[in-house]
Amino acid sequence: MNRVYIKTYGCQMNERDSEAVAAQLRARGYSVVENEHVADIVLLNTCAVRDQAEQKAIGKSGYLAKRKRNNPDFVLGVMGCMAQNRGTALLEKLPDLDLLVGTQKFHRVPQMLDQFIQSQKGLGPRPSTLVDLDAEEGSEETIREHLGDKQAVSAFVSIMQGCNMHCTFCIVPKTRGPERYRSMDSICEEIEELVANGTREVTLLGQIVNSYGMRQIPYKNGISPFVQLLERINAIEGLERIRYTSPHPRGFQKDLVEAYGRLEKLMPYVHLPVQSGSDSMLKRMRRPYTRRRFLEIVDQLRAVQPEIALSTDIIVGFPGETGEEFEDTRSLFEEVGFDMAFIFKYSERSGTKSAEMDDDVPPEVKDERNKILLDILGESSLRRNEALVGSMQPVLLEGPARKGKGIFMGRNPANRKILVPASPRLVGQTVPVRILEATVSVLNGELCLSGIDEEETAVLPVSK
Ligand code: 5AD
């Protein structure tokens, strides 16, 4: 028994952490499977940012725990943010858990699982629940290796852990701890190795990436540590595209805006969470910028890169949200015309500042506000996508699409998902694609070989 299935809830950071656990387990002889039904060990990597995410993982754990009745060797673990947030209190709800692992202890999972394997071989007692939720000095450097031998055209690279902001609604500072940064050398080395293994695009990950290195790495000629890091990564030969998520509007200064005009690998797409378009609400959320400042950043980015794509996060129904405050969010949302957005209904998280406020916006009002924004988004993404029909886009092909034989998935610089009939040899190449059709979420296209045969196109990658 050593087939492990890892189910991931929540953000890219969690996906990245799951990849790291999977790689470490593979290196130790476990096989990581894609189907929970054939697994002997199931690990849930959880999210705590909204109640719904926690309830889903709790429901799933309860369901999986039943498998232990038929198979006493079955191992069930909960890792990540919900484990950190709820701690051992979770065991009252889920007494069958074998593993409870916090956000700074992912690297300890293989060692913990080994103890269960040993017991099955009769080499030791079966442990009761193994719990490790402590903080760990230097854990930001334990998140380095994550793909192992697995190749990926596009890879996540964690540059930091934790968050020092104090947004009143947010549980993350509690689940992920204060900011810790990896060194630039170690990040660049990791990317060089990824590139040598076939990666062409990296997405740098952090709760607030533009705080990278703050108060530890000095500014150089007015250039912040994060932009210095982008400069270094931009110089890595063989890498074609750089993305990152998420920045905070507060630290989105001129040096980062200008980077879009001079770093050719930096892709013209920014996910910039605004949360609200109302100044009074931003104050209550403890988001230290104004509506005007946010719109100014958008204008500055568009001045440097007119084609830049923008996405955002918004919360509707934060405590005390008046009709007028929501109207400010609605009008900002319409004015910017985002390509993509995540719209969330406020969810009270115990331990946050806003949990002390009255969650007084009725559910039906939250629903209605949510729908108003979704309708605007549907229209604006469709409009932005339709504008690309007929154009030629440089598409980095990532691999076969989930549906459709012979169809491959890739992205244009603005991060739009594009489906195109192609051949497996072209995976990892940036190829010219003519866009034929647009929906809200995806573009369909055809390889544009313009008289050159496919063989040659494969060695003629187009740049940004
Ligand atoms: N309720 C609803 N949405 C939340 N987010 C964070 N905390 C909450 C909460 N308590 C949203 C924010 C953040 C995204 C990752 O999740 O918009 O940017």
Give the tens place of pLDDT for each residue, 31-68.
999 999 999 999 999 999 999 999 999 999 999 999 98
Looking at the chain, the number of H-run helices and the number of E-run strands are 15, 19
- What is the distance, to the nearest Å, from the Cα of residue 47 to the centroid of all Cα atoms in its chain? 12
The pTM assigned to this predicted structure is 0.94
Q: Range(s) for CATH 2.40.50.140 in the chain?
A: 392-456
Answer whether 346 contacts ligand 1 (Cβ < 6 A).
yes
Q: Does residue 146 carry a pLDDT above 90? A: no
Which CATH number is 139-386 given?
Answer: 3.80.30.20
Strand partners, 444: 419, 437
Q: Which class would CATH give 3-132?
A: alpha beta
Query: Can you tell me which residue has the tokens 């719109």?
Result: 295
- What is the distance, to the nearest Å, from the Cα of residue 55 to the centroid of all Cα atoms in its chain? 20
Burial class (CB in 10 A: 0-12, 13-18, 19+), 95: exposed
Strand partners, 312: 341
Q: Which of 50, 13, 130 is nearest to 345 (CA)?
A: 50
Q: Does residue 453 carry a pLDDT above 70? A: no
Question: Which residue's CA is the nearest one to ligand 1's atom 14?
Answer: 313
Q: Range(s) for CATH 3.40.50.12160 in the chain?
A: 3-132
Residues 89 and 445: their CA atoms lie apart, in Å, by 51
Atom of ligand 1 nearest to the CA of 246: 18
Q: Range(s) for CATH 3.80.30.20 in the chain?
A: 139-386
Testing ligand 1's pocket by substitution, the residue of 55, 167, 289, 313 carrying the most ligand atoms inside 8 A of its CB is: 313
Average pLDDT over residues 311-324: 98
Confidence of residue 450 (pLDDT cuts 50, 70, 90): low
Average pLDDT over residues 166-178: 96
Strands of the 340-345 sheet, one edge to the other: 269-271, 309-316, 340-345
β-strand pairing of 392-400 with 407-411: antiparallel
The secondary structure of residue 126, as a DSSP letter, is P
Residue 227 near residue 211, CB atoms below 8 Å: no
Answer whether 313 contacts ligand 1 (Cβ < 6 A).
yes
Residue 69 CA to ligand 1 centre (angstroms): 37
Answer whether 273 contacts ligand 1 (Cβ < 6 A).
yes
Confidence of residue 113 (pLDDT cuts 50, 70, 90): very high
Atom of ligand 1 nearest to the CA of 342: 17
Atom of ligand 1 nearest to the CA of 352: 10
Which CATH number is 392-456 given?
Answer: 2.40.50.140
Q: Does residue 460 carry a pLDDT above 60? A: no
β-strand pairing of 392-400 with 430-438: antiparallel
Answer whether 312 contacts ligand 1 (Cβ < 6 A).
no
